[in-house]
């Protein structure tokens, strides 16, 4: 934790350590830049402030997670129904145990099945904080009591003196007190795509953004070059990494739109069921007083109410939804999208905003030289990343054999401390990514770094630092001459040049040429390229004064480099825009660079604006809400600002997807409706915080995920309409039968059999119906839109009325006994939904016009369900359980005729709808 004010009279808030003078900070921390803390003081502070680690995330025990599955209102209603059915079975007291208790046992089995399915499909593990812990460096080198020790990072305390060098993982937030060419890789924390140079002597403002605090090093980052000493200012939860962990812990899990809609839908169904059951129970009790006759036993009235509740509740909906989402999850995994939370499969299809990180998501996170310049000639450089494939392409007839170009490539290879290594066919950089890009450039120009270095002997090096803004190496060339090779800032090096190498050889540098060089550098910078100048100086003294060595240089040329867009990003962005989704870039990089990438991939359109984190901090929530839909690029943003941006979009009613790969993205990933992390380049923190992980790090995979998400939502609508239609038929039949004395009601077991066994397979088949070709040219659905529209609910009532009326007709026309009529109604109510399922594939297209005309999965499901139901009807040992009887051919003809009645009825309704046209009220 951060050191409090009572360390000493001069103590102050160490969150301002980046702007403090070193001596003042050391005094406030009670630390020494020479000897570090004493062992006793370190032990005292560790006792006081605790270990340098993040707290483990709380995890509910398995029994609590299982009980959570039973907290659903529909499930609780079924449990109450099971209790009532058990009481009725006990009161009956006659008949076999299997016959008496079949109803409550069946209800309980369904409840248990749904709970177990939900328990094992709960895909989101609360492990983000555990991943944050893994990022902490396991060991740290510190100076205590004048001795250098190697300690476990958890032993560090505020005031410890860290010793850092290239390759070290930074174990705590610390203020540099000494630095020698220090640079750290911070892309995972800040989004900065290139290493950040550090300088202990830099003077910074208190408001300096995190990404520009060059006097600080941060937990979870890596030193890529140089050496330094730093005093620890914050550990554990008070580090920048710890603050991100606390933000994530405070956000909690976000419900997806599908979860919210299903909850709302479940509440509506629950109240309808309870209302109808209560009405039926009251009618049964009041009927003798209204119509006369003998009062009916309370047990029978309760059984009828339970039957109605079971008929109206779509018991199969949770399980079928879960299985449909799981199947969608498997299909998405084949495309490279790994789903960590089932409802997220559908949520991406509802996205209206995609907030994308730049580094490593839209770009390759591999610095690449894109342009080169020698006086009089420009070259484009092909190829991406650290792969050696590519070449220089002259833009204006320049020669690829120009001496200045060769010498430029030599400097790029020699004035360089990076290495390119190949592992499993993939090339990666060890060291500074900028220097790695220069090595690849030298190879493309025809000067492989290994060959160039083999022909030269390194004599001396003048390292880069933020003050000098240049680096020089002195080598003995193949002719034995000491030659200085220099790279650095254009402004700094150009004023030290007196000659340039061009088509005419080495000639004096005049003002016109100087202006041309500056113009070329400005043109590269305007394209968001990072520009470096390259020079050389022959016949220097190896031990000479640096100022002399780096004077009177010969200018060779410029290179412009950037972290290039992914090749597939442009097409993916175009598809997102066509689908009505607004892509937005949120990055820790510079505004100019971010805007250039947005323009290159087609994300930027006329009227768009870019904003920096510093400018964003000056906007209050109202101003941000007013401007949010004009802002396309957010640059130099901090983790809490990314969180604020996501919340601003959500406040405007948008469904927000957030992509990212760094620690700095994790809180916004958690806050968004759906978080999408990179699987290869992403950090464990981002992956654990996300709902969806792209295993191939391919932005284009998001397009397939959107398509799949939209298809799944459509299919969920199809099977919900199918299940509700069938349930409405059952409810109307149960309700109608209850109004006629002596008509035996359908039993809860019959109703559960129809709901789950015969209707379950067709509902699943509708859940995997092939997607429409028009899905990705339609706008996202309205986030406020319910699962079903008004027209759908009217359709449910219409289909339910047809099925229910057919069942009541079988009771009314009974001439072989009322129990036999109930058995016929049971079979008719099982077969009618099977035929209706084919109509549910489209809300408006005729069953005879659908393409493909027959869905093979649906055909197989309907055939299997019909066969299973016939077992319950025809197998003699099961007939007492289901209260069925042998059926004659004449009765089979009547059952099939009434079952088929729903098909022409729905076709007529669709034809009327098509003729009427769409209505706003439909949704």
Between CA 765 and CA 345 the distance in angstroms is 18
Cβ atoms of residues 177 and 231 within 8 Å: yes
Q: Give 458's strand partners.
A: 475
Q: How many CB atoms lie within 10 A of CB 21?
A: 10
Residue appearing with tokens 């680690």 = 53
Q: What share of the chain is helix, strand, coil (3-state, %, to 5)?
A: 50, 15, 30
Cα 637 to its chain centre, rounded Å, is 19
CA-nearest of 858, 872, 879 to 829 is 872
Q: What tokens were used for 805? A: 């009326």
Known catalytic membership, residue 773: no
Which residues have CB under 8 Å from 873's CB, separation 6+?
A: 823, 827, 879, 882, 884, 887
Which residues have CB under 8 Å from 160's CB, separation 6+?
A: 31, 36, 37, 42, 140, 142, 144, 172, 231, 232
For the four alpha carbons of 715, 355, 359 and 53, in that order, the dihedral sign comes to negative
The three-class DSSP label of residue 21 is coil
Which residues have CB under 8 Å from 249's CB, separation 6+?
A: 57, 129
Between CA 782 and CA 616 the distance in angstroms is 29
Cβ atoms of residues 474 and 463 within 8 Å: no
Cβ atoms of residues 159 and 231 within 8 Å: yes
Task: Give start and end residues of each alpha helix (H) in 122-161.
Answer: 128-135
Per-residue burial over 721-752, b if 16 or more Cβ lie within 10 Å, else e, is bbbbbbbbbbbbbbbbbbeeeebbbbbbbbbb
Cβ atoms of residues 282 and 375 within 8 Å: no
Burial class (CB in 10 A: 0-12, 13-18, 19+), 150: exposed
**Where on the phi/psi map is residue 50: left (φ > 0), alpha (ψ -120 to 50), or beta?**
left
If you ran DSSP here, which 8-state letter would residue 498 be given?
Answer: E
Among residues 103, 357, 432, 665, the one annotated as catalytic is: 357
The three-class DSSP label of residue 459 is strand
Task: List the catalytic residues.
Answer: 357
């Amino acid at each position: 934790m951060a050191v409090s004010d009572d360390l000493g009279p001069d103590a102050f808030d160490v969150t301002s350590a980046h702007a403090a003078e070193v001596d003042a900070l050391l005094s406030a921390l009670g630390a020494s830049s020479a000897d570090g803390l004493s062992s006793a003081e370190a032990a005292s502070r560790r006792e006081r402030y605790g270990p340098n680690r993040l707290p483990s995330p709380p995890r509910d025990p398995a029994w609590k997670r299982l009980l959570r599955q039973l907290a659903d209102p529909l499930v609780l209603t079924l449990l109450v129904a099971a209790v009532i059915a058990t009481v009725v079975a006990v009161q009956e007291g006659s008949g076999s145990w299997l016959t008496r208790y079949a109803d409550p046992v069946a209800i309980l089995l369904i409840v248990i099945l749904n709970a177990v399915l939900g328990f094992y499909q709960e895909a989101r593990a609360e492990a983000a904080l555990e991943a944050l812990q893994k990022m902490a460096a396991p060991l740290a080198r510190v100076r205590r009591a004048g001795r250098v020790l190697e300690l476990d990072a958890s032993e560090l305390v505020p005031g410890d003196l860290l010793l850092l060098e290239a390759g070290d993982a930074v174990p705590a937030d610390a203020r540099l007190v000494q630095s020698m060419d220090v640079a750290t890789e911070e892309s995972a924390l800040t989004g900065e795509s290139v290493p950040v140079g550090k300088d202990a002597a830099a003077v910074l403002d208190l408001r300096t953004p995190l990404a520009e605090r060059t006097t600080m090093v941060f937990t979870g980052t890596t030193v890529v070059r140089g050496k330094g000493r730093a005093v620890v200012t914050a550990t554990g939860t008070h580090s920048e990494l710890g603050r991100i962990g606390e933000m994530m812990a405070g956000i909690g899990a976000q419900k997806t739109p599908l979860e919210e809609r299903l909850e709302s839908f479940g509440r509506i169904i629950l109240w309808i069921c309870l209302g109808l059951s209560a009405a039926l129970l009251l009618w049964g009790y009041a009927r003798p007083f209204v119509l006369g006759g003998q009062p009916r036993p309370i047990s029978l009235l309760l059984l009828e109410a339970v039957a109605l509740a079971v008929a109206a509740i779509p018991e199969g909906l949770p399980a079928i939804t879960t299985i449909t989402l799981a199947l969608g999850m498997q299909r998405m995994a084949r495309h490279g999208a790994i789903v960590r939370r089932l409802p997220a499969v559908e949520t991406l299809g509802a996205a209206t905003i995609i907030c994308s990180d730049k580094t490593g998501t839209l770009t390759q996170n591999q610095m690449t030289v894109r342009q080169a310049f020698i006086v009089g000639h420009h070259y484009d450089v092909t190829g991406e990343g650290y792969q050696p494939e590519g070449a220089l392409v002259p833009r204006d007839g320049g020669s690829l054999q120009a001496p200045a170009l060769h010498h430029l490539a030599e400097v790029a290879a020699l004035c360089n401390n990076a290495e390119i290594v190949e592992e499993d066919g993939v090339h990666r950089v060890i060291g500074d990514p900028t220097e790695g890009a220069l090595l690849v450039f030298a190879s493309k120009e025809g000067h492989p770094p290994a060959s160039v270095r083999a022909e030269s002997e390194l004599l001396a090096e003048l390292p880069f630092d933020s003050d000098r803004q240049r680096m020089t190496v002195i080598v003995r060339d193949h002719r034995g001459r000491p030659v200085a090779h220099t790279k650095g800032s254009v402004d700094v090096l150009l004023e030290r040049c007196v000659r340039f190498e061009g088509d005419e050889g080495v000639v004096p540098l005049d003002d016109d040429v100087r202006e041309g060089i500056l113009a070329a550098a400005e043109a590269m910078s305007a394209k968001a390229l990072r520009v470096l100048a390259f020079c050389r100086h022959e016949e220097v003294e190896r031990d000479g004064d640096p100022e002399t060595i780096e004077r009177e240089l010969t200018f060779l040329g410029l290179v412009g480099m950037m972290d290039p867009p992914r090749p597939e990003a442009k097409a993916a962005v175009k598809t997102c825009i066509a689908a009505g989704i607004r892509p937005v870039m949120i990055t820790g990089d510079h505004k100019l660079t971010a805007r250039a990438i947005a323009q290159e991939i087609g994300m930027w359109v006329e009227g768009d604006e870019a904003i920096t984190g510093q400018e964003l901090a000056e906007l209050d929530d109202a101003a941000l809400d007013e401007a949010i839909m004009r802002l396309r690029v957010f640059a130099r943003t901090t983790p809490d600002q990314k969180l604020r941006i996501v919340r601003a979009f959500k406040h405007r009613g948008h469904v927000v997807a957030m992509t990212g790969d760094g620690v700095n993205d994790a809180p916004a990933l958690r806050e968004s409706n759906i978080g999408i992390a990179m699987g290869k380049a992403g950090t464990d923190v981002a992956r654990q915080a996300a709902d969806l992980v792209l295993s191939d790090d391919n932005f284009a995979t998001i397009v397939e995920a959107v398509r799949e998400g939209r298809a799944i939502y459509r299919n969920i609508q199809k099977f919900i309409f199918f299940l509700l239609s069938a349930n409405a038929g059952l409810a109307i039949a149960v309700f109608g039968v209850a109004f006629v004395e002596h008509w035996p009601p359908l039993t809860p077991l019959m109703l559960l059999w129809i709901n789950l066994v015969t209707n379950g397979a067709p509902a699943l088949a509708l859940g995997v119906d092939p997607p429409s070709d028009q899905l990705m040219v339609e706008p996202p659905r309205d986030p406020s839109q319910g699962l079903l529209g008004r027209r759908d609910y009217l359709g449910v009532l219409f289909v339910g009325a047809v099925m229910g009326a057919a069942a009541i007709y079988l009771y009314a026309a009974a001439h072989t006994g009322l129990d036999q009529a109930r058995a016929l109604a049971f079979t008719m109510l099982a077969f009618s939904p099977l035929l209706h399922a084919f109509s549910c594939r489209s809300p408006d297209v005729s069953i005879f016009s659908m393409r493909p005309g027959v869905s093979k999965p649906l055909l197989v499901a309907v055939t299997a369900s019909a066969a299973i139901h016939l077992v319950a009807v025809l197998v003699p040992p099961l007939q007492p359980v289901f209260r069925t009887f042998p059926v004659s051919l004449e009765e089979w003809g009547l059952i099939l005729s009434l079952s088929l009645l729903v098909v022409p009825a729905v076709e007529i309704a669709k034809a009327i709808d098509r003729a009427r046209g769409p209505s706003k009220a439909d949704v």
